[in-house]
Structure 1
Amino acid sequence: MMKSAPRTEAATVLLVDEDLEQCLNCKTKLESQGYRVVCTHSAREALAIFSCEKIDLVVADVQLPDMGGFDLIGTLASLRLPIPIVVNTSDSAFQFSFRSWAADAIIAKSPDCTELALKIAALLQAQAPKYVH
């Protein structure tokens, strides 16, 4: 069995958050670390983007203006694609919710997005092929 060559392009992160400032802060942080970041502010837009772009990891808040983060996470999980899903939320109750089953990680929101960036790096590094960023 032949090994595939290591992946050389940057991983693409789909960031879904209704908070425009939070989205911009995290986008800036992740792009500074070499990721390609696609931002959207609604679950429906996220699903449309997901269907037409190659996404390597999804970061979603649970508070979204349309279908809601829980529904988005459930829909993405039902596709059974090997794409990590990270919940980035200020809602601490989500950690104890039965609806958190589909998330690979739950990170508390912070303005500088450092913990989120570390978790994204760890999740992508754990996947094969390796990502460069």
Structure 2
Amino acid sequence: MQTDAQTLLLVDDDPDLCAMLAEYLGHEGYKVETVHSGAAALEVLERLTPDLMVLDIMMPGMSGLELLQQLRPRSAVPVLMLTGRGEAIDRILGLEMGADDYLSKPCHPRELLARVKAILRRCDGAQPAAEPEQDGTFPAHRLVSGELMLDPGQREVQFAGQPLQLTSAEFNVLAYLMQHAGRVLSKEELTRWVLHRELSAYDRAIDVHVSRVRQKLAAVMGDDQEMIKTVRGQGYQFVRGMA
């Protein structure tokens, strides 16, 4: 059970599913608000900043992707998408728009709970109680490479003194890559450490998060300064040493 109740906003057009998931998550100690449309979610977000939003992609009227597109420029609230099993393109689009992770429907409430816990855990930089790999320990101290600075305690990234806005997953991807500068981190490792789950077939979540970090770094540094290198068949490498 949660000691300090965290608030979840569940957005899905299926009232029965919302009621069932809200009851389950409520028993786990979370405060859960449910709405059944994107417009209703925007109204709630005017008065409430949830710790996490669970967002169904396929909704009538304003879709989950449209809601996410409106939300991201003004809010960094973590988002877990619910998608149909065959909607791979929607999962990728959602991640590119700033969602933190996805879960295919129909989903088991226990798996949803595990994903919720994983996202909330990485948002505050905390690690699981039993971390099997020492290398997967989240960095505890400030990381610096040239003009790029990442502060795990404040959860902030700056380049040349200017803040860089990253989602929680993007922040943790960059943190692990910077911490292991010069070493190639596999997609399996990054998925396990950042998303707190195993990499599955056709899972591109980590690829999309790395791509988003690259885009945001390029926007402030220029395309000629590539700090994250793709090592084909192996993974990703932060290529500039830390000062």
TM-score, normalised to structure 1, is 0.81
Which consecutive residues of structure 2, in runs of 5 or more, have no partner in the other structure?
Answer: 127-243
Shift of 1:123: 0.7
What pairs with 1:1-133 in structure 2 (closer than 5 Å)?
A: 9-79=4-74, 81-93=75-87, 95-97=88-90, 98-100=92-94, 101=96, 102-110=98-106, 112-128=108-124
- Do 1:26 and 1:112's aligned partners in 2 also have CA atoms closer than 8 Å? no
d(CA) in 1 for partners of 2:32 and 2:83?
A: 18
Deviation (angstroms), 1:25? 1.4
> Which runs of no fewer than 5 residues in structure 1 stay unpaired?
1-7
Name the amino acid aligned to 1:29: Y
The structure having more radius of gyration, on CA atoms, is: 2
Q: Percent identity?
A: 29
- For residues 85-114 of structure 1, what are the alpha-carbon distances to aligned partners after superposition, in whole Å with 9 as ceiling and x for unaligned? 010122531x33442212111101236422
Q: Say if 1:27 and 1:39, in contact at 8 Å, map to a contact too.
A: yes
Q: How many residues align?
A: 121
Query: Higher relative CO (CA 8 A, sep ≥ 6), structure 1 or 2?
Result: 1
- CA apart distance, 1:9: 2.7
- Match of 2:33, as an amino acid? V
Distance 1:24-1:112 versus aligned 2 partners, 3 A rule? farther
Is the Cα contact below 8 Å between 1:25 and 1:112 reproduced in 2?
no
- Aligned Cα RMSD in Å? 1.9
